[in-house]
C-alpha cells in the first residue's frame, strides 16, 4: 500500500509540474498578443519625501488585463517575459507608453517629480533600445533627469563590458539609478558607489515587520546609515502603516513608497496629486502673510 501511495504521489507531482509548464507556455504565448491587443497598461505609484510627505517620484508599474483570466500580476508574467526574451518588447512598450503619457502635458507640470522605470537585467544585455530611449528624450522637451531606472543589485555584481558602458552612458545623459529590492540579494553597498547609484530601495520584506522584528530594525538602520555615508538616499518600499513610518523617521530614512500614502493609479490621478500639491505650496506663503 505504501508503495502504491508513493507511486501516486510521484504521479501527482509530475502532473502538477506538467500543468505548471503548460500554464507557463500558454501565458508566454498570450503575452505576445497582449501588446498588440492593448491588454497592457501602466499605473504610477507615488514616492514621498518622509519628513513632510511631499510627492517627489512615481514608479511606473505594468498591468496586464488578460481577456479570459483577468488581471495577471507582473510578478507572474515578467519572469516569463525575461526567460523568453520578450521583455525587450515589453520594455519598448513601457518607454513608448511613458512618453505618450508625458506628451499629453507640459513636463513643467510635473514640478520635478521623477518617473521611475523598472529595467530588467535582460534589457541591459541588449541595450540598443535603452540608447534609443535616451536619443528620443534628447530630441524632446523632456529632460533625462526626470527619469530614474530601477535595477537589481545582481546587475552590478560582475557587470559585463556592455553593461558597464551602458550604465556609464545612462549616467552621463542624466538618468538617475535606483537599486530595487535591496536586502534580498548580495546586499553589499560598497560596489554600488562605483556605479554612482543615487537611490537604494529597501525591500518590502524588511519593512513589513519593522515594529516587531528587532533584526529587521537593526538591518534597516545599518543599511540607511551606511548608504548615507556613501551619499546615497534611501527609499523604503511597502510602507503600509504609521508604526512603520514612525520607525523609518527615527532611523533617518529619506523617502517612502507604499499603500499608507499612495497606491498605484492612472497617470491622470498622479497629475491630480501633483497639481493639488503645487496649489498647496503656492498658497502657503500667502497664508503666512495673511496671519501676520
Ligand atoms: P517592484 O519594482 O519592487 O515594485 C514594487 C511592488 O510592490 C509593486 O508590485 C507594488 O504594487 C507593490 N507595493 C507597493 N507598495 C506596497 C505596499 O504597501 N504593500 C504591498 N503589499 N505591496 C506594495 P507590482 O506592481 O505587482 O510589481 C511587482 C514587480 O514586477 C515589481 O516589483 C517589478 O519587479 C516588476 N515590474 C512591474 N512593472 C514592471 C515593468 O514595467 N518592467 C519590469 N521589468 N518589471 C516590472
Ligand atoms: Mg521597482
Ligand atoms: Mg522594489
Ligand atoms: Mg519588488
Whether the complex's predicted ipTM is more than 0.95 is answered with yes
- 161-170 per-position pLDDT tens digit: 999 999 999 9
Cβ of 75 closer than 6 Å to ligand 1, yes or no, is yes
The CA-atom distances, in angstroms, between 27 and each of 23, 33, 72, 78, 119 are 6, 10, 10, 11, 21
Cβ of 265 closer than 6 Å to ligand 1, yes or no, is no
> From CA 223, how far away is CA 205, in angstroms rounded?
14
Task: Specify the DSSP class assigned to residue 105.
Answer: S
Which stretches within the chain are classed as H helix? 2-36, 74-84, 87-103, 121-125, 128-139, 154-157, 161-173, 190-194, 204-207, 214-229, 242-250, 267-291
Q: Which of 78, 88, 97, 124 to mutate to test the pocket of ligand 1 (most atoms within 8 A of CB)?
A: 78
User: Which one of the ligands is nearest to 61 CA?
Assistant: 1
Residue 64 alpha carbon to ligand 1 centre in Å: 13
Cβ of 79 closer than 6 Å to ligand 1, yes or no, is no
- 43-70 per-position pLDDT tens digit: 999 999 999 999 999 999 999 999 999 9
Q: Which of 65, 237, 264 to mutate to test the pocket of ligand 1 (most atoms within 8 A of CB)?
A: 237
Residue 61 alpha carbon to ligand 1 centre in Å: 6
- Which ligand 1 atom sits nearest the alpha carbon of residue 260? 18
- 185-237 per-position pLDDT tens digit: 877 887 888 899 999 999 999 999 998 989 999 999 999 999 999 999 999 99
- 69-122 per-position pLDDT tens digit: 999 999 999 999 999 999 999 999 999 999 999 999 999 999 999 999 999 999
- Which ligand 1 atom sits nearest the alpha carbon of residue 91? 42
Residue 254 alpha carbon to ligand 3 centre in Å: 16
Closest CA to 177 of 157, 203, 152: 152
pLDDT value for 48: 98
Q: Is residue 4's pLDDT more than 80?
A: no
State the virtual CA torsion across 259, 261, 266, 269 in degrees, nearest 10.
160
The CA-atom distances, in angstroms, between 9 and each of 35, 40, 252 are 40, 39, 52
Rounded to the nearest angstrom, the gap between the alpha carbon of residue 30 and the centroid of all alpha carbons in its chain is: 24
The alpha carbon dihedral of 72, 61, 256, 101 has a sign of negative
pLDDT value for 185: 81
Q: For the residues 235-249, what does the mean pLDDT come to?
A: 98
pLDDT value for 2: 46
Cβ of 202 closer than 6 Å to ligand 1, yes or no, is no
> Cell 523617521 identifies what position?
249
- 143-181 per-position pLDDT tens digit: 999 999 999 999 998 899 999 999 999 999 999 999 999
> Cell 535616451 identifies what position?
134
Average per-residue pLDDT for the chain = 92
> From CA 239, how far away is CA 248, in angstroms rounded?
9
Q: Cβ(50)–Cβ(253) under 8 Å?
A: yes
CA atoms within 13 A on the CB side of 149: 29
Binned at pLDDT 50, 70 and 90, residue 1 comes out as very low
pTM over 0.80: yes
Cβ of 61 closer than 6 Å to ligand 1, yes or no, is yes
All three cell numbers of 190: 560598497
Q: For the residues 13-24, what does the mean pLDDT come to?
A: 85
Residue 156 alpha carbon to ligand 1 centre in Å: 20
All three cell numbers of 283: 498658497
Q: Is residue 6's pLDDT more than 60?
A: no
Amino acid at each position: 500500500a505504501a508503495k502504491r501511495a508513493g507511486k501516486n504521489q510521484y504521479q501527482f507531482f509530475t502532473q502538477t509540474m506538467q500543468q505548471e509548464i503548460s500554464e507557463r507556455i500558454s501565458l508566454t504565448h498570450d503575452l505576445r498578443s497582449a501588446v498588440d491587443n492593448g491588454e497592457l497598461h501602466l499605473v504610477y505609484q507615488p514616492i514621498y519625501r518622509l519628513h513632510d510627505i511631499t510627492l517627489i517620484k512615481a514608479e511606473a508599474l505594468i498591468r496586464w488585463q488578460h481577456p479570459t483570466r483577468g488581471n495577471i500580476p507582473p510578478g507572474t508574467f515578467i519572469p516569463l517575459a525575461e526567460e523568453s526574451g520578450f521583455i525587450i518588447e515589453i520594455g519598448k512598450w513601457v518607454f513608448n507608453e511613458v512618453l505618450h503619457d508625458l506628451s499629453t502635458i507640459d513636463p513643467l507640470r510635473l514640478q520635478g517629480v521623477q518617473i521611475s522605470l523598472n529595467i530588467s537585467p535582460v534589457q541591459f544585455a541588449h541595450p540598443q533600445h535603452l540608447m534609443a530611449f535616451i536619443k528620443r528624450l534628447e530630441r524632446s522637451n523632456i529632460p533625462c533627469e526626470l527619469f530614474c531606472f530601477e535595477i537589481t543589485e545582481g546587475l552590478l555584481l560582475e557587470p559585463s563590458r556592455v553593461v558597464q558602458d551602458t550604465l556609464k552612458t545612462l549616467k552621463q545623459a542624466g538618468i538617475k539609478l535606483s537599486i530595487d529590492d535591496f536586502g534580498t540579494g548580495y546586499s553589499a553597498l560598497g560596489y554600488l558607489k562605483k556605479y554612482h547609484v543615487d537611490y537604494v530601495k529597501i525591500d518590502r520584506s524588511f519593512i513589513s515587520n519593522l515594529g516587531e522584528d528587532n533584526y529587521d530594525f537593526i538591518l534597516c538602520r545599518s543599511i540607511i546609515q551606511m548608504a548615507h555615508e556613501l551619499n546615497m538616499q534611501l527609499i523604503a518600499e511597502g510602507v503600509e502603516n504609521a508604526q512603520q513610518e514612525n520607525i523609518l523617521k527615527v532611523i533617518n530614512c529619506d523617502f517612502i513608497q507604499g499603500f499608507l500614502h499612495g497606491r498605484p493609479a492612472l497617470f491622470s490621478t498622479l497629475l491630480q496629486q501633483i497639481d493639488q500639491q503645487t496649489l498647496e505650496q503656492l498658497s502657503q506663503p500667502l497664508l503666512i502673510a495673511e496671519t501676520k
